[in-house]
Structure 1
Amino acid sequence: MPSGTRVRRAVVSATSVALMATGCGGGGSSSNGPSDAAKTFTYQGSEPQNPLQPANANEVGGGRIVQNLFKGLVDYDPATGKLRNQVADTIDTTDAQTYTVVLKSGWTFHDGTPVTAKSFVDAWNWAANTKNNQINSSWFEDIQGYPDVHPESGSPTADTMSGLTVQDGTHFTIKLNHKVSYFPYKLGYVAFSPLPEGFYQDPAGYGQKPVGNGPYEFVSWDHNSQVVTKTFANYQGVDKPKNGGVVFKMYTNAEAAYADLQSNNLDVMDQVPPSALANYKGDLGSRAIDAPQGGIQNVGFTLYQPEWQGADKAKVRQGLSMAIDRNTITRTVLQGSRAPASAWVAEGVEGYKAGTCGDFCTYNPDKAKQLIQEGGGVPGNSLKITYNADGGHKEWVDAVCNSIRQTTGVNCAGDPKTDFKTARAAITGHQINGMFRTGWVQDYPLNANFLADVYRTGAASNDTGYSSPEFDKLATEADKAASIQDTATGYQQAEAQLATDMPAIPLWYYRTNSGYSNKVQNVSFDSFGNPAWTQVEVKS
């Protein structure tokens, strides 16, 4: 969208339309009947890695809970994928660098205090500050003054970013370091949520008992068991709940969750396990979900380790990618529920360009062995792929390792961690060797999210330690482009650098393969892989 001198509404619609998920399959019973808006429903979750603070959740375990407890300026319509205003009444700009935000009136936090312009500005400043150790702090780096609160080394020289200015109770401005035409896309991410004044008196305590402004309010957190929420009666959003709340049940085994779903002890699944993919549509009938999702499965490398550094080791990584028979694994182990990946951006996302990975994502045993040999071989001729055992990943990890081992002779084995939280702690703490599972589901439907937020030097989700001056330069140029379309094209050029360096191997594109119990109705999933939480109805 052009950014000329005229004022334009910055809350733009996504140019790639996300399709609403629909039930698939025959038989069963999901006919709509009377519902009870006071009843809660259960969802298959995982123990959050961190306290429940908006800027401290970049994984699905905590992220899906936090996004229901908090609501930002905008979010994405689950039916269309388009940006829509929530707390924001308007977000305007004349130059794609300075944005003027006006809030709607009437919004309150769950404790009854008002949501104001200061609620956003103070929250963003706190989240960006190095001393508060928030995992999503880099999401604020576009804002002028970010280096003052989050320097590359040393202590902050300021407590606030100069680019944020409160004008009055419902009006603030955001000045960026440079033009970012797609900045409104980013504002839908949970890190940009507001915080109540009471939060700053006890951030740690609020992380265990959060107070938000979203459709659901926190009730309790029984660690490693469940998080209970209830509908917030004074919620002012456009997506008012049709149920009484969500109970996030923590599972360490996807098969156990599926068994609970079939026996109506779980209402909505995240993803059915690979072991059920062949039969779940028959098991669930019209309650089965098969829907598009803006997600990708990768395996990343520990590039922060000396043995994986250097141009020669890029050849080894390329060779390992060519040793993986994606077509066979997706067709057999994953029952055709995934499509082999040929790029680092998911299908259906604005800026997706098939084939960016080139021949390196094509199974070629001879070339795989040649590249690995030219690169000096895999360190120790042995690999481990770290993954979370509670996510139904064992089957495909074993298949990937079998493909590598049979094709190249390199020893490869899965390295399961008990649950998602444990695996993420090991990955972000740099406590693993070699390779690790690193799936990514869109935070906003633009290729920049799959690239800048994962592969830019120092990005919050750059778990590989990848750092490429060329990638960073191209990404920065893409950020400054005059339109969203030009930004997407610029990021395609940056993505091409990943084929040269291969910091992570793209495996396949996700779909949402899920289902729901006989106790709920009106269940649908969006392109983020989330159910339309507030629209789920519990049968009376």
Structure 2
Amino acid sequence: MKRKLLLILSFALMIFVLSCGKNKTDEGAIYINVGPEPKTIDPALNSTVDGSIYIQHAFEGLATRDKDNKIVGGVAESWDISEDGLTYTFHIRDNAKWSDGKKVTAEDFVYAWQRAVDPITACEYAYQLEPVLNAMDINSGKKEVSELGVKAIDENTLEVKLNAPTAYFLELVAFPTFYPIRKDIIEENGDNWTLSPETYIGNGPFVMTERRTDDRLIMSKNTNYWNASSIVPEKLVFILMQNGTAAVAGIKEGSIHFANNPPLQDIENLKSEGLMHISPYLGTYYYCLNITNEALKDERVRKALTLAIDRNYLTEQVTRGGQLPASAWVPSGVSDIDNADFREVGGNYYSIKAEDYQKNLEEAKKLMEEAGYTNGEGFPVIEFKSNSGEHIQIFEAVQQMWKEGLGIDSTISQEEWATFQDTRQHKNFVIARHGWIADYNDPMSFLGVFLSYSVQNNGGYSNKAYDDKLKLAMSTIDQNIRMKAMHEAEDILMNDMALIPIYFYTDPIMISKKLSGVVFDPLGSHKFFYAKLAK
């Protein structure tokens, strides 16, 4: 027995040493952790911030964002816009190449955009192409993909026809859904094209050189990128894990240089040690409500659940990352007319003052009583679904508030990240944690989520008046008309209480003192194009 035990221990030690050798830190590479194994890194199919970070390092759109997060030319060196705002003509760079050396052409964009709106593709972000002529009719099966308003005039010229003038169209073409894709790669490899460095062919600053499922995704500088001389790091190693404790240890020992989602209990210590950066973030953390659920069909119940949450307690005692209690759907920092703040103009839909919480709670109790659930009697047990991590800690506090304030019981169900995304998408939940980060700085990036036909509308909310207000906002570039319509749309959404806003995001990031040059993006897609490590 002793001999067998010694053999087992020796074998285990050998495996450990080999494992350590395999994962040894590559000196000079930047080690990054922004999430676990992604569900997908296909630009048309991804719907997560972590996925978009990987994608934007391997691909580039017609436009991109510079070091100041301003829209500049990407694959397109310039563009022309017709006087009526309905036609965009993009001029593609002669030296724009794919990572395998082939030239990027206008047809690559035609194929990618047609693929995104094709209902067979099941692209969650297909609605982003709504401004493009015929996009939504194609996505709903009413027209053929060939009728999409995009055409290759020649190899270097792409013409785009819009349904209506769209104030934020250049912001859209910088987003991953609008990135080019290689038709030959997709047709030969199908959905597996993203799984191997040999087939994950992009046109961006970096190229995938290694991929180990549930372990790491490695990218090296793409020498065929048109602007390769501006790219600083030679190698990026994305560590694929969702383990905050391990990330903290990695930051402290130097094996990880950048990581998000720090454990809530570690934030204050990380701040004091100079290992924490709080980045601005245009986003709202919220609870997604399954409107098709019998108990949640009553808007009085939805409003009661919203009012019974003490958001100041959550942000001050639980999250502690500088988040702001949310009083609406569209967060602070989103632009309104003349650079005003949309949230400041729109105001609050309920009080978020600490001293008003008891008043909110009394109103919540009255609403529950009117709905027939005095002191929670007869109300079903609510199941809350989430992936693991800090989301569970946050809900445990909310769970207590609902129990003590309204007499409501709830349970918690945890799922792996990829599984949880499917759960929300297929409405297999009563209440689910959610968060939305802007894809571009315009209220439409938030309000469009709750259009009745949006695939991102996970709770199933539908209101024709809401849809009509947003259609008006999408049909003009007159900012006065647009903003008025979007404020009125938010009024409808919040009066229906189609969701429970919790807080407006900040982005607490763990970062090594050796790392500099990271471009922090308020949209969450941080860039490492110019990042470097001090020796």
Both structures adopt the same fold (TM-score exceeding 0.5): yes
Partner of 1:374: 370
Q: For 1:266, which of 238, 250, 256 is the aligned residue?
A: 256
8 Å CA contact 2:217–2:238 kept in 1: the answer is yes
Residue type at the aligned position of 1:206? W
Q: Is the 8 A contact 2:89 2:157 kept in 1?
A: yes
The Cα offsets for residues 407-431 of structure 1, whole Å up to 9 and x where unpaired, read as 111113432223x222212111222
The aligned residue for residue 17 of structure 1 is: none
One-letter amino acid of the structure 2 residue matched with residue 482 of structure 1: I
Q: What residue number does 2:349 align with?
A: 358
CA shift, 1:49, in A, is: 4.7
> Residue in 1 aligned with 2:428?
431
Aligned counterpart, 1:92: 80
Match of 1:83 among 62, 71, 77: 71
For 2:300, the equivalent position in structure 1 comes to: 315
Give the deviation of 1:112 after TM superposition. 1.3
Measured after TM superposition, the shift of residue 326 of structure 1 is 0.5
Write 1 or 2 for the structure with the bigger share of helix: 2
The structural deviation recorded for 1:265 is 1.8
Partners in 2 of 1:185 and 1:484 — Cα distance? 16
Q: In the alignment, what sits opposite 1:385?
A: 384
Q: Alignment partner of 1:230: what SS?
A: strand
Following superposition, the deviation at residue 305 of structure 1 comes to 3.2
The 5 A counterparts of 1:195-234 are 195-201=181-187, 202-209=189-196, 210-234=200-224
Measured in 2, the distance between the counterparts of 1:530 and 1:515 equals: 15
Report the TM-score, using the length of structure 2 for normalisation.
0.86
Q: CA deviation at 1:229?
A: 1.2
C-alpha deviations, 1:154-195, integer Å up to 9, x for none? x56523234112111111211122222222221121100001
Paired with 1:198 and 1:519, the residues of 2 have a C-alpha distance of 42
* 2:86 is the alignment partner of 1:102: no
AA at the equivalent of 2:195: Q
Following the alignment from structure 2 to structure 1, what is the Cα–Cα distance between the partners of residues 72 and 27? Answer: 27
Letter in 2 for 1:463: N
| CA-CA distance at 1:108 after TM superposition | 0.6
- Preserved contact between residue 78 and residue 526 of structure 1 (Cα < 8 Å): no
Amino acid at match of 1:332: Q
Distance of 1:491 and 1:406 partners within structure 2: 36
Letter in 1 for 2:214: N
Which residue, 230, 233, 251 being the options, matches 1:240?
230
Distance in 1, Cα, partners of 2:35 & 2:321: 26
In structure 2, the residue matched to 1:468 is 463
Aligned pairs for 1:40-439 within 5 A? 40-79=29-68, 81-93=69-81, 94-151=83-140, 157-201=143-187, 202-209=189-196, 210-237=200-227, 240-283=230-273, 285=274, 287-309=275-297, 313-335=298-320, 337-351=322-336, 352-354=342-344, 356-359=347-350, 363=357, 364-377=360-373, 380-390=379-389, 392-418=390-416, 420-432=417-429, 434-439=430-435
Tell which structure's C-alpha radius of gyration is larger.
Answer: 2
| Post-superposition CA distance 1:239-270 (Å, at most 9, x none) | 93210132221223222212221121211012
Q: In the alignment, which residue of structure 2 is the partner of 1:514?
A: 509
Structure 2: distance between partners of 1:457 and 1:110: 39
1:120 is displaced (CA, Å) by 0.6
Distance 1:396 1:458 in 2: 30
SS of equivalent residue, structure 2 residue 209: strand
Look up the equivalent residue of 2:350 and give its one-letter code: D
Which amino acid letter does the alignment assign opposite residue 415 of structure 1?
S
* TM-score, normalising length: structure 1: 0.85
How many angstroms apart in 2 are the aligned matches of 1:499 and 1:163?
A: 34
Following superposition, the deviation at residue 356 of structure 1 comes to: 4.6
Deviation at 1:531, TM superposition (A): 3.0
Q: Which runs of 5+ in 1 are unaligned?
A: 1-36
For residues 238 and 458 of structure 1, what CA distance do their matches in structure 2 show?
A: 40
The corresponding residue for 2:22 is none
Change (3 A) 1:101 1:524: closer
CA distance in 1, matches of 2:463, 2:37: 31
Mark the CA change 1:448 to 1:148 in structure 2 (over 3 Å): closer, same or farther: closer
What are structure 2's unaligned runs of at least 5 residues? Answer: 1-25, 337-341
Inter-partner Cα distance in structure 2 for 1:484 and 1:270: 35
Q: State the distance in 1 between where 2:249 and 2:317 align.
A: 22
Worse-matched range after superposition: 373-382 or 212-221: 373-382
* 1:336 Cα offset (Å): 5.6
Q: Secondary structure at the match of 1:445?
A: coil
Does 1 or 2 have the higher relative contact order (CA < 8 Å, sep 6+)? 1
Matched letter for residue 338 of structure 1:
Q
1:373-405 Cα offsets, whole Å, 9 max, x none, are: 223447843223222114x22221211221222
SS at match of 2:146: coil
Give the partner amino acid of 1:77: D
Count of residues in correspondence between the two structures: 491
* Cα displacement (A) at 1:519: 4.4
Change (3 A) 1:118 1:223: same
* Partner SS state of residue 277, structure 1: helix
